[in-house]
Amino acid sequence: MGELQIWEVFNASLMDHPFHLHGFFFQVIEANGKAPEYMAWKDTINLPPRSKVKIAWIPDNRPGMWMYHCHIIEHHAAGMMAHFEVIDGDKPYDEAIPSQAHHHHH
């Protein structure tokens, strides 16, 4: 939480893929190596074939599991999605994850 995230998202395919970050907004800071003409908050960006963007965003105070995925529903269903976890960095890792089962090894 509160830590600046810089993610590079690359579309290696030959068709467009709208990339969606669920629950958060980001700014595109670079598209195909160039700064964008203007900065804007987005939650989805279209990636044309063989394009690459860098996005910047900051997870806020909502720890838990989130996801990013392709907004084309068939692509999402085919596996173009993944989960990431927002954690409270001020707490020990096992306390920062409310959903995690506690396993203590002695």
Spatial CB neighbours of 46, under 8 Å, sequence gap ≥ 6: 16, 17, 18, 19
30-64 pLDDT tens trace: 999 999 999 999 999 999 999 999 999 999 999 99
pTM attached to this predicted model:
0.82
**Cα end-to-end distance, the chain, whole Å:** 30
pLDDT of the residue at 24:
97
Positive or negative, the Cα torsion across 88, 63, 27, 31?
positive
What confidence tier does 102 reach under pLDDT thresholds 50, 70, 90?
very low
pLDDT of the residue at 96:
58
Distance CA 16, CA 64 (A): 30
Count other Cβ atoms within 10 Å, centred on residue 47: 20
Residue 103 pLDDT greater than 70, yes or no: no
19: its two tokens: 């990339």
20-30 pLDDT tens trace: 999 999 999 99
Domains in the chain: ranges and CATH: 5-96 (2.60.40.420)
